[in-house]
Structure 1
Amino acid sequence: MKAAILKDFGKPLYLEQVESPKLGTGEVIVKVIAAPIPHYAKSVFSGERQYMLELPLAPGAGGIGIVIAVGPDSTKLKEGDWVLCDPTVRSRDNSVNPDIALQGISARGKGGLKLQQYYRDGSFAEEMRIPTENAILIGNLTNDEAVKWSALNIFLVPFGGLLSIDLKAGETIAISGATGFYGSAAVATALAMGAGCVLALGRNKTALDHLVSIFGDRVRPVVLTGDEETDKEKIQNTAPNLIDCVLDILPPSVSANVVRTAIMTVREYGRISLMGGVGMLGGKDLELPYTWIMRNSVTIKGQWMYRREAPQQLISLVKAGLLSLDHFEITEFNLEDINEAVEYAANEKGAFKLTVVKP
């Protein structure tokens, strides 16, 4: 089969003929039809992000495909099924504190790296091997529909954060980083989950106004100035009610001050989910006042990716018509043009911009 191989950080991906992955117990083999390219893939492959990634391997985090082989312990999946390939691979020998790897892109700790050393088949290939539980049934699709459905991988990230703070129908939530690649998806997902109002925080007025044009007046834009006290007051004055929760999903390049501003607008007993990359590349870390957290009974949760059941729940939102996959402007590339595709994704990383490779 053909696969794009990352051999060295800072070097192009090499398109090669490699051996097809071999099936083991507890695994399935999927023919990859469409795979999204994260906007940050270039910075991972260059080594800039310093992610745990042992080379060489076929990168690519998840996608949409067709099952072509199942293991002997599979009771529901069968050949020919269309599935979401969930890239969040968890170890099976500790359900309380599993090690985690993002197949083809990163790992968490030494245990996650060990997982990644085994699951080396990312989605930038014609076929990939994934754990059985990571093949999530979708239902019949066409190849063209599969490209659109690959946006699920984008929605899944903020969905994990929103689930972690138990966003409820009718609540007011502030999205810190609302105009970005994942932030715009967070706005759409929060509305699909029933948020009464989404405060979209950002510095780009045009991008914020675009969100309002898509989703209507349940989205209230807040153009940030960079001054903490001024912005805190603007956010709270824009909200129709007290702010129940905040989701931060800002990239590593942003100052921690911006995160703190958003967080400190939440009401008493408010909930906060931290999913962004602030501090990842150095710089000042997030500093929150102990007394404010304690006296306001604020819950702060860190969330990396999402719970195991989240992909199936997200698919249900789409099938119910609550979450639309039509918001994305999708640009398609063939596997032969993978390096061009990675470069394109890095430059087209705004709201609802999606780059997809079709192996």
Structure 2
Amino acid sequence: MLAAVMDDFGTPLDVREVPDPGAHGGEVVVEVLATCVLPYASEVFGGARRYPLEPPVIPGLGGVGRVVTAGPDSTRLTPGELVWCDATVRSRDDATTPDITLQGWSSRGDGGLRLSRHFHDGSFAERMSVPTECVHRLSDVDTVDAARWAALGVYLVPYGGLLAAEFRAGESLLVSSATGNFGSAAVSVGLAMGARRVVAVGRNRHVLDDLRTRFGDRVRAVALTGDAEADRAAMLAAAGGPVDMVLDLLPPSVDASVVRAAAMTVREYGRVVLMGGVGMLGGDDLSLPYPWLMRNSVTVRGQWMYPRDANGRLIELARAGLLDLGQDSVHTFPLAHINEAIAHAAAHGGPFTRTVLTPGDR
């Protein structure tokens, strides 16, 4: 089969023939129909993100495909069936604190790195082998919509944060970094889950205006000025008072003071979920006042990715039309043009803009 291989950081991916994967116990071989190329993919492959990928590797973060072969312990998946393949792979020998790898992308700690050496290769290929528990049926989804459904991986990230804080219909949500790829998805998912109001915070006024136009009065936009106290006051005014939950998705380049300003808009018993990359590449750590946290019973938690059952739940939100995948602008590239796709994704990383690789197209 053909695959796009990263032989080393800082070099273009090479499309070439590689051996077909096999399906052993607990695994499924899938023909890859569509997989998202994330806007920061060039930073990963260039080494700027310092992800623990071990070249040579076929990168790629999940996607939509057809089942080719299922292992002997699979009883319901059938060849030809359309499925979503989740890239979040968990070790099977510790249900409480499993090691995690993002297949073909990243991993957490030494255990995650060991796991990645088995589930090493991702979706930038004509076929890939996936753990059975990471394969989710798409039921009546039409194959022609595979490229659009490949964006599930973007929406799943903020959905995981909302589930972690037990976000409920009728609550207010503040999204810090709402103008980015994941942040704008968080606005959409929050509304799909029944948010009473979403405060969208960011620096790009054009994108903030688009979010208001796209979603209506349930979205209130706040453009950051750089003055932390003024920004916090503007967030509270837009929300009509303290919010129920803050979801932070800020990238590594942002100062922690921006996180702090947003976090301190939550009400008593409010929740703050951190899912961004602030501090990963240096800079000051997040500082929150102990008395304020304690006396207001505020919950602050980190969340990496999402629970396994989030996949099926989000698929049903999309199938029901509550999460509208039709709003995405999708640009597809065949496997042979993978490096053009990576450059396109970097240049077009705005809200609801998806760069999708379609390995079956020649």
Q: Same-fold call, TM > 0.5?
A: yes
* Structure-to-structure mapping, 1:168-317, within 5 angstroms: 168-317=168-317
Q: Distance in 1 between matches of 2:226 and 2:167?
A: 27
Say how many residue pairs are matched.
Answer: 359
Is the aligned partner of 1:340 residue 2:343?
no
* Structure-to-structure mapping, 1:125-144, within 5 angstroms: 125-144=125-144
Partner of 1:17: 17
> SS of the residue aligned with 2:9?
coil
Contact 1:81-1:140 within 8 A present in 2 as well:
no
Partner of 1:59: 59
Q: CA deviation at 1:202?
A: 0.9
Inter-CA distance 178–341: structure 2 relative to 1 (3 Å threshold): same
Is the aligned partner of 1:87 residue 2:87?
yes
Q: Distance in 1 between matches of 2:240 and 2:189?
A: 20
> SS of the residue aligned with 1:121?
coil
Between 241-250 and 82-91, the greater mean CA deviation after superposition: 241-250
Output one character per residue of 1:198-251: Cα deviation in whole Å (capped at 9) or x when no partner.
000011111101001110000000111111111111111111353101000011
Output one character per residue of 1:309-339: Cα deviation in whole Å (capped at 9) or x when no partner.
0000000101111100012111110100001
- Name the aligned partner's letter for residue 263 of structure 2: I
Partner of 1:329: 329
Inter-CA distance 33–212: structure 2 relative to 1 (3 Å threshold): same
> SS of the residue aligned with 1:217?
helix
TM-score normalized with structure 2 length = 0.98
- Name the aligned partner's letter for residue 111 of structure 1: G
Q: CA deviation at 1:285?
A: 1.3
Between 182-191 and 111-120, the greater mean CA deviation after superposition: 111-120
Q: CA deviation at 1:293?
A: 0.7
- Name the aligned partner's letter for residue 265 of structure 2: T
Q: Distance in 2 between matches of 1:281 and 1:343?
A: 23
Q: Distance in 1 between matches of 2:144 and 2:215?
A: 25
- Name the aligned partner's letter for residue 11 of structure 1: T
- Name the aligned partner's letter for residue 286 of structure 2: L
Contact 2:256-2:279 within 8 A present in 1 as well:
yes
Contact 1:21-1:121 within 8 A present in 2 as well:
no
How high is the sequence identity, in percent, across the aligned residues? 54
Output one character per residue of 1:86-143: Cα deviation in whole Å (capped at 9) or x when no partner.
0000000000000000001101011111111111221000000000000011124444
Partner of 1:119: 119
Q: Distance in 2 between matches of 1:251 and 1:276?
A: 6
Partner of 1:156: 156
Which runs of 5 or more residues in structure 2 are unaligned? none
- Name the aligned partner's letter for residue 232 of structure 1: R
Partner of 1:6: 6
TM-score normalized with structure 1 length = 0.99
Between 239-248 and 64-73, the greater mean CA deviation after superposition: 239-248
Q: Distance in 2 between matches of 1:201 and 1:263?
A: 12
- Name the aligned partner's letter for residue 53 of structure 2: L
Q: Distance in 2 between matches of 1:140 and 1:6?
A: 35
Q: Distance in 2 between matches of 1:59 and 1:189?
A: 27
Output one character per residue of 1:138-165: Cα deviation in whole Å (capped at 9) or x when no partner.
1244443000111111100100001111
> SS of the residue aligned with 2:283?
coil
Which runs of 5 or more residues in structure 1 are unaligned? none
Output one character per residue of 1:244-288: Cα deviation in whole Å (capped at 9) or x when no partner.
010000111111111110000100000011000001111111111
Q: Distance in 2 between matches of 1:106 and 1:272?
A: 25
- Name the aligned partner's letter for residue 114 of structure 2: K
> SS of the residue aligned with 1:216?
helix
Between 178-187 and 143-152, the greater mean CA deviation after superposition: 143-152
Q: CA deviation at 1:343?
A: 1.1
Q: CA deviation at 1:39?
A: 1.0
Output one character per residue of 1:171-219: Cα deviation in whole Å (capped at 9) or x when no partner.
0110000010100000000000000000000111111010011100000
Contact 2:82-2:143 within 8 A present in 1 as well:
no
Partner of 2:45: 45
